[in-house]
Amino acid sequence: MSGPLLLAVESSCDETGIALVEGGRRIHSNVVASQVALHAATGGIVPEVAARAHLRWIVPVLDAALEDAAADWRDIDAVAVTYGPGLAGSLLVGVNFAKALAHVHAKPLIGVNHLEGHVEAGWLLDPGEDVAARPEPAFPVVALVVSGGHTFLVEMRDHGDFRLLGQTVDDAAGEAFDKVGRLLGLGYPGGPAIQRAAEAAVARDVIFPRAWLGESYDFSFSGLKTAARRIVAAARTEAGLAADDAETSLPEATVAELAYGFQAAVVDVLATKTLRAARETGARAIVVGGGVAANTVLRERIQADAAAVGLPVVVPRPGLCTDNGAMIGAAGARRFAAGERAGLDLDARPSLPLAGR
């Protein structure tokens, strides 16, 4: 493996990530400081708290990323940074930091779209991982990105060449996991907590609704959230609990059954639409990314459905699905190779669309 070595900075939401990535694929180091414990106390992300945590951690994360890769600035060809979409205050920390690094070390600067990073994570290789064991996904690819803020399906004819097939018309899949996790008293973030609770489900009888939206590739999860609220209220009444008493929680077995039913509905819709999109667009591979792609049931379901029709699927290991710097290094390398350079006037773009300029 060879190619330029990029130092990549990610701080769009609640993870401070810095990575060194060679040739858009090979990870040399990938350090992430997670704020999950910090935001668990408030049951969700408080943007100003997130921005301050990035400010606190970004220098130690840089030092660790350079040390892990045993690299110094002479080895680095460019600095890549997420400039959107995301929380304005969080993005500003990373963008300003990357600009200062590029300026001081006289390296080119590359602005990277966070969503493109989630897709390009499908091309990453861990240090020492055999290239032959992980072939590159063949184009055209259908990519499903499912995160806390976004849920969409794209057709990708080449790196950087995206056609939006469908997206959520209301909540993102991760957002639905987080909201229903809160409803079930499972805390923040809801995704991993629901997955864990569902694993313990013995009864699996509660069926949550699926929003198919006809033949479209769009998604909707707000009805599921409303159904969850109704089902939780009914279960509380049945268990003899007051409707709105935060101190009393549902029996563990009920929480497990509801977590199972909710997760099954989300996974069913995501997997079914992804497979149909791949079939109808003639895709040669499926790539899945974003925090919700860390979900074991979703990973296994898409892999099984795709295997049944002979389609290869790439789902990065969970640590590369949730926000990290390496995915920004992967996407940044494609932009770097295409000759794209950002000026020192690069600004944060909280609502940047996929592959937007």
Please give the residue ranges that form the binding site for Zn ion (CB under 5 A).
147, 323
Q: Could you say which DSSP state residue 5 is in?
A: E
Of 24 and 289, nearer to ligand KG4 (C-beta) is 289
Minimum separation from the CB atom of position 147 to Zn ion (A): 4
**Cβ atoms of residues 50 and 12 within 8 Å:** no
Query: What's the closest the beta carbon of residue 293 comes to ligand KG4, in angstroms?
Result: 8
Interface residue list for ligand KG4 (CB under 6 A): 13, 147-149, 174, 177-178, 189-192, 195, 290-292, 294-295, 322-323
3-state secondary structure of 143: strand
Task: Report, in Å, the least distance between residue 323 CB and Zn ion.
Answer: 4
Between residues 111 and 190, which has the closer beta carbon with respect to ligand KG4? Answer: 190
Pick between residue 5 and residue 190 the one whose CB is nearest to ligand KG4.
190
190 is in the binding site of which of ligand KG4, Zn ion, none (Cβ under 5 to 8 A by kind)? ligand KG4
Among ligand KG4, Zn ion, none, what binds residue 295 when CB lies within 5 to 8 Å by partner kind? ligand KG4
CB 221 → Zn ion: shortest distance, Å? 17
Supply the minimum distance, in Å, between the C-beta of residue 163 and ligand KG4. 21
Q: Indicate which of Zn ion, ligand KG4, none lies near residue 94 (CB less than 5 to 8 Å, by partner kind).
A: none
CA distance 348 to 243: 43
Question: Which residue, 141 or 193, has its beta carbon nearer to ligand KG4?
Answer: 193
DSSP 1: -
Nearer to Zn ion, 147 or 220 (CB): 147
Which residue's CB is nearer to ligand KG4, number 178 or number 218?
178
Strand order in the sheet with 141-146: 161-167, 151-158, 141-146, 285-289, 313-314
For β-strands 151-158 and 141-146, DSSP reports them as antiparallel
The label of the residue with tokens 């990065």 reads 316
State the burial class of residue 170 (Cβ atoms within 10 Å of its Cβ: 0-12, 13-18, 19+): middle
195 interface partner picked from Zn ion, ligand KG4, none, CB below 5 to 8 A per type: ligand KG4
Helices (H), the chain: 36-40, 47-68, 88-104, 114-120, 173-183, 190-199, 222-238, 252-281, 296-308, 318-321, 325-337
Rounded-to-integer distance, Cα 332 and Cα 21, Å: 9
164, β-bridge pairs: 154
51 binds, among Zn ion, ligand KG4, none (CB under 5 to 8 A by kind): none
